[in-house]
Amino acid sequence: MSEYIIEMLNITKSFPGIKANDDITLRLRKGEIHALLGENGAGKSTLMSVLFGLYQPDSGTILKDGAPVKISSPNDANALHIGMVHQHFKLVEVFTVLDNIILGAEKTRWGVLRKDEARRRVVELSERYGLKVDPDARIEDISVGMQQRVEILKMLYRDNEILIFDEPTAVLTPQEIDELMEVMRGFAREGKSILFITHKLAEIMKVADRCTVLRKGRLIGTVDIADTSREKLSRMMVGRDISFNVEKKESAPGEKVLEVEGLTVPSRLHKKNAVKNVSFTVRRGEIVCLAGIEGNGQTEFVQALTGLEKAGSGSIRLKGREMTDMPIRERSRLGMSHIPEDRHKFGLVLDFTLEENLVLQRYWEEQFQHCGHILRRPVREYAQRLIEQYDVRSGQGAQTIVRSMSGGNQQKAIIAREMDKEADLLVAVQPTRGLDVGAIEYIHRQIVAQRDAGKAVLLVSLELDEVMDVSDRILVMYEGEIVGEFDPRKVSVQELGLYMAGAKRDDKKEAV
Amino acid sequence: MKKRATMPKGALNLTASLVSILAGLLVGFILLMIFNFDKALYGFGNIVLTGLRTPDRVAKVLYTAAPLLMTGLSVGFAFKTGLFNIGASGQYTVGAVLALVGAILWQLPWYACILLGMIGGAVWGAIPGICKALFNVNEVITSIMFNWIGLFSANLFLYNSPRMLANAWGAINKDRTAALDKANPSAILPKLGMDKAMGSNYMNISIFIAIIAAFVMWYVLQKTTFGYELKACGYNRNASRYAGINDKRNIVLSMVIAGALSGLGGALYYLSGTGQFTMGKQLLSMGFNGIPIALLAASHPLGTILSALFIGYIQVGGEALQPEFAKEIIDIIIAAIIYLSAFSLLMRELILRGRSRRRQAEEEKSRQAADTVEE
């Protein structure tokens, strides 16, 4: 029998205009945890989709236990005992946990479902691997972490031996991440083989045995984790050295810029309030970070702050001026810039050119228009300056249609536009979401530079590393309330995680 | 390797439109062969050539193209701002009737009547716009309903206004409005002697007004902050809200302008003095033909000029098919051509795909060549 359970040899897969995988070879040993590392767009997901039968490779072969196999659909993959936990879970929200697990592999007699046996197996599996779930709970009622356990149980229920995890830690708290790592190690001990897709180096160092690195669709190499380091891996991934620590001086907070008092925002989804009685201030020269797990009211808070949604009650003051009910344009004029959470939905008009997007917040200014007629030349010159200054790369310069640009450069365009506004308050929501380490490093430096230039910065982030590295002060939001305030130098990630998960809270309500 | 097949956008759109037109003409020819095989070639020749045969036919083409250009602009302008104005027919009707009211009842000169037509269309476009902006009611549904409301309101009004009808001005029909040469010659669009030069009563300034309107629309969309805002709303409403653009105001304004363009179309057609508004139970097709015209031009205002001229041209050509072919067949053929013309979007996608595949194959070949050299 072959040493490898799965071998993907010389896989090439092209899409119109782009080669997503170019001659990639990946060998998975039995019983190992094999990490697949790469920046966004490096081809990790394509490669895994080929293995899972979602895409057919243009060329290359896949061997299972040394014998060539053809995987033309997820059903084929399943028959070969290959299972996958997708980044966005594939669960039926209104079904119970048990129904979701057996879905597609139901046992029936005379066309009638036989759930008893299934239930016994699910309970047995969940106890054996420490994957606690309630088989009768509905998916919509359980936490994201538990939903992930359901996805894992789905693979186990189908006796899968090769388990693919696509960015499994993105949605978890630090405690849940630790638990997941333990579960993964348990699988490996039992002889199951794990492919672990991620761009978080720390997790790879912690749990993986070997790591395959992709860059721009090409294979860079496969290394043993025991012989490598974070720095080496990141150099393989990005192609140059990356500094992990955000260098910054001590903050020197000045006058108050943003004052939020008793802000309450109604939820669009249910009758309860999404943001409850939130109060805090942000001063000049400091970066305040609003941390929390997704869906705890941060989005609604930011929409009320920036004027995209109406606030329920409470007040927001910018430089002492009441702006709770101000139109968006006036907030912007008063001195607020906003790097939005969803750059495609809010931040950019994708079918506009780069220059049109760069003036999106100021096309109405005197310098860019005269009596409603847009002045092409000043717009072009301004765009060119920003493109140069912020190193925004694109195919046809200022006239590139933004849709054709890479995610990192699209984000850089937004950063350039919002930072160049010279506003007193910068609201940055998930500014590094989905970006590679090179771009993250750049954006963090820019945010710190804004702070050092005397701006007040409110950073909203789900990434704990970012929260710890960049901020001067951390506010944790849980279920719409601020449950704690911390100094990043005096708090541990674990401690923050407890607050984010709602396990702990400070009762001195008034964060200042 | 990330480059997509690069081809100037304009050239791509033009190629796609031309391919669609050719496909439409081919289907028309096949239909002709099915209905009357012997005369098919002769009939097809008529469709393609009649429009240029005599100066009178050229004039007729321009006369037909002017209102088509206006409804095409109306639909295209709304498209650019992210709205589907299927209500061009109703706006066209209301604009036409209001222009005729100015001409016949109020005895106003032609330019005042044109203005009235624009106002009528603008009001008819504004209502769906307001419903969309304030109550988020889909503009497709409201504007379809307003097509019918406009048509029957016009009929109701004309039934109750005997002074508007032809029999009040010395003719015998009472199902249509008065002929302008009897009721108010000053409301007829100026002909500037072109009618004599071309020997056609159809020739007047309407096509020039329509072309000017197309250039104005192009300028507004391309060069002004207003057009920038409208396009931003059309492409991405959330992002424009984020940028502080008043999206609700822009939806209403966009529908008002689209309505005014359609209304102007109605005014131009009926102020030519050659047609009379007939009370009927069917929506006027002029408004619906604006949709394929806009599609064929990829909503570009200047492209709309060409596509309106083309549709006008084959409509005039179709008229020459009688008596060898029944009148209904002509409509079917024109409809087939228009229908296939509307596939220009699909064609664009097909052309792009074909090109990128070819490019990829070439890249592959050159790479293989390079590889063998290395070995």
Contact A348 B236 (CB under 8 A): yes
| Domain region containing B177 | 57-329
Burial class of residue A269 in the structure, from the number of CB atoms within 10 Å of its CB (0-12 exposed, 13-18 middle, 19+ buried): exposed
Please report which helix (H) or strand (E) contains residue B188, including its range.
none
Q: What is the SS3 assignment for A203-256? A: HHHHHCCEEEEEECCEEEEEEEHHHCCHHHHHHHHHCCCCCCCCCCCCCCCCCE
Token readout for B141 is 């549904």
- Cα separation, B373 vs A458, in Å, equals 57
Contacts of B238 in chain A (CB under 8 A): 345-346
For residue B244, pLDDT over 90 is answered with yes
Task: Write the residue in B232, B243, B353 that is nearest to A16 by C-beta.
Answer: B353
The Cα angle at residue A490 between residues A489 and A495, in degrees rounded to 5: 115
Is the Cβ–Cβ distance between A64 and A5 less than 8 Å? yes
pLDDT in tens, A280-300: 999 999 999 999 887 788 989
B21 backbone φψ class: left, alpha, beta (φ>0; ψ -120 to 50)? alpha
* Across B287-309, average pLDDT: 90
Token readout for B335 is 């409809």
Token readout for A39 is 């920046």
pLDDT in tens, A143-164: 778 888 999 999 999 889 999 9
Q: Distance from B221 to chain A by nearest Cα, in Å? A: 10
pLDDT in tens, B146-184: 999 999 999 999 999 989 998 888 888 888 999 998 899
Is the Cβ–Cβ distance between B100 and B270 less than 8 Å? yes
Q: What are phi and psi of A457, to 5 degrees?
A: -125, 130
| Interface of chain B toward chain A, CB-CB under 8 angstroms | 1-5, 223-226, 228, 231-232, 235-236, 238-246, 353, 356-357, 359-360
- Cα separation, B136 vs B248, in Å, equals 10
For residue A451, pLDDT over 70 is answered with yes
C-alpha to C-alpha distances, A140 to A106, A155, A297, A364, nearest whole angstrom: 21, 20, 18, 45
Domain count, chain B: 1
Question: What average pLDDT does the structure give for chain A?
Answer: 88
Closest CA to B125 of B88, B153, B77: B88
Contacts of B4 in chain A (CB under 8 A): 16-17, 404
Q: Distance from B354 to chain A by nearest Cα, in Å? A: 10
Question: Is B374 domain-assigned?
Answer: no
Confidence class for position B358, pLDDT limits 50, 70, 90 = low
- Cα separation, A81 vs A102, in Å, equals 15
Rounded to 10 degrees, the C-alpha dihedral A140/A142/A147/A152 comes to -130
Question: Is B91 domain-assigned?
Answer: yes
Closest CA to B181 of B208, B207, B163, B201: B201
- CATH level 3 topology of A1-81+161-243: Rossmann fold (3.40.50)
Contacts of A345 in chain B (CB under 8 A): 236, 238-239
Contacts of A16 in chain B (CB under 8 A): 4, 353, 356-357, 360
Question: Is B30 domain-assigned?
Answer: no
For residue A490, pLDDT over 50 is answered with yes
* Across B102-124, average pLDDT: 96
- Cα separation, B94 vs B154, in Å, equals 7
Task: Write the residue in B1, B241, B356 that is nearest to A328 by C-beta.
Answer: B241
ω into A266 cis (within 30 of 0)? no
Please report which helix (H) or strand (E) contains residue A323, including its range.
none
Place of tokens 């008034």: A510
Contact B238 A338 (CB under 8 A): no
* Across A389-400, average pLDDT: 86
For residue B373, pLDDT over 60 is answered with no
C-alpha to C-alpha distances, A234 to A220, A472, B166, B276, nearest whole angstrom: 12, 26, 85, 77
Task: Write the residue in A347, A395, A404 that is nearest to B239 by C-beta.
Answer: A347
Terminal-to-terminal C-alpha distance of chain A: 65
E strand intervals along A88-209: 108-109, 112-113, 162-166, 193-198
Q: What are the structural domain ranges in chain A?
A: 1-81+161-243, 93-159, 256-350+423-500
Task: Write the residue in B223, B235, B242 that is nearest to A374 by C-beta.
Answer: B223
Is the Cβ–Cβ distance between B171 and B182 less than 8 Å? yes
pLDDT in tens, B269-284: 999 988 899 998 889 9
Amino acid at A403: R
Give me the sign of the Cα torsion angle A212, A214, A219, A223. negative
Domain containing residue B222: CATH number: 1.10.3470
Please report which helix (H) or strand (E) contains residue A511, including its range.
none
**Which has more pLDDT, A64 or A295?**
A64
Q: What is the SS3 assignment for A340-404? A: CCCHHHHHCCCCCEHHHHHCCCCCCCCCCEECCEECHHHHHHHHHHHHHHCCCCCCCHHHCEHHH
Using DSSP bridges, classify how beta strands A425-429 and A336-339 pair: parallel, antiparallel or unpaired.
parallel
Using DSSP bridges, classify how beta strands A287-291 and A473-478 pair: parallel, antiparallel or unpaired.
parallel
E strand intervals along B287-367: none
Give me the sign of the Cα torsion angle A313, A319, A322, A328. negative
Q: What are phi and psi of B258, to 5 degrees?
A: -60, -40
Question: Is B334 domain-assigned?
Answer: no
Residues facing residue A113 across a β-bridge = A108
Amino acid at B255: M
pLDDT in tens, B57-92: 999 999 999 999 999 999 999 998 889 999 999 999
Neighbours of B197 (CB within 10 A): 12
Closest CA to A460 of A313, A340, A361, A286: A340
Q: What are phi and psi of A366, to 5 degrees?
A: -45, -40
* Across A334-361, average pLDDT: 92
Contacts of B242 in chain A (CB under 8 A): 306, 308, 328, 338, 340, 346-347
Q: A256-350+423-500 architecture in CATH?
A: 3-Layer(aba) Sandwich (3.40)
The residue of chain A with its CA nearest to that of B1 is A18
Q: Do domains A1-81+161-243 and A256-350+423-500 have the same CATH topology?
A: yes
Q: Distance from A346 to chain B by nearest Cα, in Å? A: 4
- Cα separation, A152 vs A125, in Å, equals 10
Question: Is B148 domain-assigned?
Answer: yes
- Cα separation, A326 vs A306, in Å, equals 9
**Whole-structure pTM value:** 0.75
Confidence class for position B368, pLDDT limits 50, 70, 90 = low
